[in-house]
């Protein structure tokens, strides 16, 4: 499964795997793909440095990358405390009432929230980059689109390719104008923040909009047949995230979440603003239902919503309150029915890809050459 892009990056398969788990990122790269570590949860540069050191020691010298979340436009002089002060008391009370309804215990005295998305803040993301550029990363991806121009320049000066996610051809063209090297066309089916256009429509639209820039297809992909379909649509690779959540190398810290993922069907996700304030596909739970209920206060814009629910999500996760317990995941969750190693996932992807290519060759009357 090689393309011009995978050859440029020196990887065997044009499979890019996004994951918050260092062990999974390293295993993806060792299996012949390109592991990309998500940095949004690293609020302390020392924690990111620790995990990048671990990847360096365990990746076997093959390439990997980093994914950050930072806005294209800089906001001066705004601290996390300033932002938290903007959260209405009514929304705080709604969180308290919802947790009380389900009997969710408090965190222990002095225990800090373990789930706090502050990586969206410019100073946090830049601190992550200060660390990351000290390592031989080959790709910097930004989940919020094109990073600031100086970040793109800095990456290029270090020989690092820059990728940006796009949910429409219009977004993709803006990325191309900003000097991005790779566009990730993320379809409606994808887990996490995603737009409203399905992958089958979005991928060729983006390919046509930004050619000859390479495009990675994302959203709803979890089989070799789908990889073959993405490449036939003009993509130079695929960007997979959800499928790694149930691999044996993943450190989910919650057997209950894993059980829910393995039991979920493709219709058991919802695009909800409950987690961050932007539409993000995740498991549908009574927590998402509460926030999406018209009778409730409604969600706040990003980043207020993420800060508002940080402690609540930590409590739900710590005590595994199953009715409220969820995680970002795409519609491909319906195929995630067993725990497998990263290598087993790759074996399945490559076998499925070969079968799909053989099938197309037969349809095209090239069976003998296949």
- What is the tens place of the pLDDT at every residue in 42-55? 888 999 999 999 99
Please check whether residue 248 is in contact with residue 339, taking contact to mean a CB–CB distance below 8 angstroms: yes
Instruction: With cut-offs at 50, 70 and 90, classify the pLDDT of residue 114.
Output: low
Distance CA 48, CA 71 (A): 20
Q: What's the whole-model pTM score?
A: 0.92
Mean pLDDT, residues 86-106:
96
pLDDT tens-digit map of 179-209: 999 999 999 999 999 999 999 999 999 999 9
Rounded to the nearest 10 degrees, the angle between the axes of helix 149-157 and helix 122-132 is 0
Distance CA 100, CA 105 (A): 8
Instruction: Say yes or no to pLDDT of 128 above 50.
Output: yes
Distance CA 239, CA 220 (A): 10
CA 331 to chain centre: 13
Q: Which of 240, 246, 239 is nearest to 261 (CA)?
A: 246
Q: Write out the H or E segment, with its range, that includes residue 158.
A: none
Distance CA 131, CA 119 (A): 14
The pLDDT value recorded for residue 73 is 55
pLDDT tens-digit map of 226-236: 999 999 999 99
The pLDDT value recorded for residue 13 is 97
pLDDT tens-digit map of 330-348: 999 999 999 999 999 999 9
Q: Which of 129, 177, 122 is nearest to 157 (CA)?
A: 129
Distance CA 359, CA 326 (A): 38
Neighbours of 320 (CB within 10 A): 14
Q: What is each CA distance from 252 to 22, 82, 117, 261, in whole angstroms?
A: 12, 32, 17, 11
């Amino acid at each position: 499964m090689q393309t011009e892009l995978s050859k440029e990056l020196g990887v065997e398969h044009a499979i890019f795997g996004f994951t918050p788990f260092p062990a999974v990122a390293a295993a993806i790269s060792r299996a012949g793909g390109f592991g990309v570590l998500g940095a949004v949860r690293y609020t302390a540069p020392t924690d990111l440095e620790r995990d990048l050191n671990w990847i360096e020691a365990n990746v076997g010298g093959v390439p990997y990358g980093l994914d950050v979340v930072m806005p294209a436009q800089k906001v001066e002089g705004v601290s996390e405390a300033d932002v938290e002060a903007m959260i209405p008391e009514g929304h705080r009370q709604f969180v308290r009432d919802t947790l009380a309804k389900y009997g969710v215990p408090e965190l222990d005295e002095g225990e800090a929230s373990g789930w706090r998305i502050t990586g969206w803040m410019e100073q946090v993301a830049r601190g992550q980059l200060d660390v990351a550029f000290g390592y031989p990363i080959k790709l910097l991806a930004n989940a919020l689109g094109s990073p600031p121009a100086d970040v793109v320049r800095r990456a290029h000066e270090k020989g690092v390719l820059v990728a940006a996610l796009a949910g429409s051809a219009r977004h993709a063209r803006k990325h191309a104008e900003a000097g991005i090297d790779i566009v990730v066309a993320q379809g409606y089916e994808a887990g996490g923040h995603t737009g409203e256009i399905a992958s089958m429509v979005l991928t060729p639209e983006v390919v046509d909009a930004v050619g000859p820039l390479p495009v990675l297809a994302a959203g709803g992909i979890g089989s070799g047949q789908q990889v073959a379909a993405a490449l036939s649509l003009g993509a130079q690779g695929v960007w997979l995230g959800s499928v790694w959540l149930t691999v044996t190398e993943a450190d989910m810290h919650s057997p209950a979440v894993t059980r829910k993922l393995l039991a979920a069907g493709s219709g058991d996700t919802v695009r909800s603003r409950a987690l961050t304030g932007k539409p993000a596909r995740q498991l549908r739970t009574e927590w998402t239902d509460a926030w999406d209920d018209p009778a409730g206060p409604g969600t706040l814009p990003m980043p207020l919503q993420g800060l508002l629910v940080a402690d609540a999500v930590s409590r739900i996760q710590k005590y595994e309150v199953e009715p409220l317990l969820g995680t970002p995941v795409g519609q491909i969750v319906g195929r995630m029915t067993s725990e497998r190693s990263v290598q087993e996932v790759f074996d399945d992807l490559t076998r499925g890809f070969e079968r799909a290519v053989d099938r197309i060759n037969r349809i095209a009357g090239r069976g003998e050459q296949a």
